[in-house]
Amino acid sequence: MSPRDSYLRDVVWRRFRANKFAVSGALLVLLAVVLSITAPFITPYGPNTLDAYHVLLPPSVAHWCGTDEVGRDVFTRMIYGARISLIVGFVAIGIATIIGTVVGLVAGFYGGWVDSLLMRFVDIMFCFPTFFLILAVITIREPSIINIMLIIGLTGWMGVARLVRAEVLSIRERDYVMAARAIGCSDLRIIFRHIMPNALGPVLVYATLGIAGAILTESSLSFLGIGVPPPTPSWGNILASGKEFLEFAWWLFLFPGLAITITSLSYYLIGEGIRDALDPRLNR
């Protein structure tokens, strides 16, 4: 086992486990994943099963989170909707992290006009409000889960690029990088073998926090009716369906709203826990 692997196991993992808030967030995310995977075995209802005789029923033993305006079980739709939110979050941030990491590595390693060109492009992308840019693209493209993931990923990589660039500017001057240059290692080997592994700590934190942001973005788009198209359940369109019955069907917005809030908060707690665990200035 390498010293780096030993450090991650003995120090970083120990610090993370000692953070009760981070562990609680991880357990809540794990619970959401398990519920979404085992949804067909948990509930006897289908996510799009209509029941005209049980419309807008409040929470009960038969329907834990009540029913909606066409008799669909809200709890069933929420745990199926968790699949959409989690998949969108992971895939979208995965795309953003890959693009941002590559751009940041190239800009930070080569510097000069390459760095200036790439960072000016990043600045231009930052000038556009991300959410409104997503809205503009979605009005052109047909709303779908794949398009939502691609658009969020392609408009959310700039922060990762800046973060990686800043790390690389520091790492590229260290002794082990200079030694790799001296023995004739190629640029690609230096970047991906020596620099990238040591720059991924902050990226992991950013990506974890970004998943929460992607879930909120997807929920907002679905709430506005330009996200995941019905009847596919997502937390956002469950909220949207309940806004017309706000006065008497409180369960239609309370439970999906809590799901979005708790899941996003859980990812923030995990991100903060990872950041604290990776901080060498903390002695715990």
Top pLDDT among 165 and 201 is at 165
Q: Which amino acid is at 171?
A: I
What mean pLDDT, rounded, does the chain reach? 85
pLDDT for the residue numbered 202: 83
Separation between Cα atoms, residue 153 and residue 141, nearest integer Å: 15
Q: To which residue do tokens 């889960």 refer?
A: 145
Instruction: Look at residue 1 in the predicted model and tell me its pLDDT.
Output: 45
- pTM for the model stands at 0.85
The per-residue pLDDT for range 173-225, each reduced to its tens digit, is 888 888 888 888 888 888 888 888 888 888 888 888 889 888 888 888 888 88
For the chain, percent of residues with pLDDT exceeding 90: 27
Mean of pLDDT values over 131-142: 76
Res 3 pLDDT > 60 = no
Q: What band does 6 get if pLDDT is binned at 50, 70 and 90?
A: low
Q: Which of 36-50, 138-152, 214-228, 240-254 has the lowest mean pLDDT?
A: 138-152
Share of the chain above pLDDT 70, in %: 94
- What's the first-to-final CA gap in the chain, in angstroms? 23
pLDDT at 280 over 70: no
Q: Which is more confident, 135 or 238? A: 238
User: For residue range 14-41, what is the model confidence (pLDDT) as tens digits?
Assistant: 888 888 999 999 999 999 999 999 988 9
Cis status of the peptide bond prior to 231, with omega within 30 of 0: yes
Read out DSSP for 56-88? SPPS-SSSTT-B-TTS-BHHHHHHHHHHHHHHH
Q: Does the pLDDT value for residue 282 go beyond 60?
A: no
In this predicted structure, the answer to whether residue 236 has a pLDDT above a threshold of 60 is: yes
What was the pLDDT predicted at 100? 93
- Taking the C-alpha atoms of residue 78 and residue 75, their distance in angstroms, rounded to an integer, is 5
Compare 120 and 145 and report the one with higher pLDDT. Answer: 120
Distance, in Å, from the CA atom of 282 to the CA atom of 280, rounded to the nearest integer, reads 5
The answer for residues whose C-beta is within 8 angstroms of residue 109's C-beta and 6 or more apart is 168, 172, 187, 190, 191, 195
Reported as a single tens digit per residue, the pLDDT across 117-132 is: 999 999 888 887 777 7
169 compared with 129, residue with greater pLDDT: 169
DSSP state of 50: -
Q: Can you give the three-state secondary structure of 187-244, one letter per residue?
A: HHHHHHHHHHHHHHHHHHHHHHHHHHHHHHHHHHHHHCCCCCCCCCCCHHHHHHHHHH
Q: 170 pLDDT exceeds 90?
A: no
Domains and CATH numbers, the chain: 3-45+70-278 (1.10.3720.10)
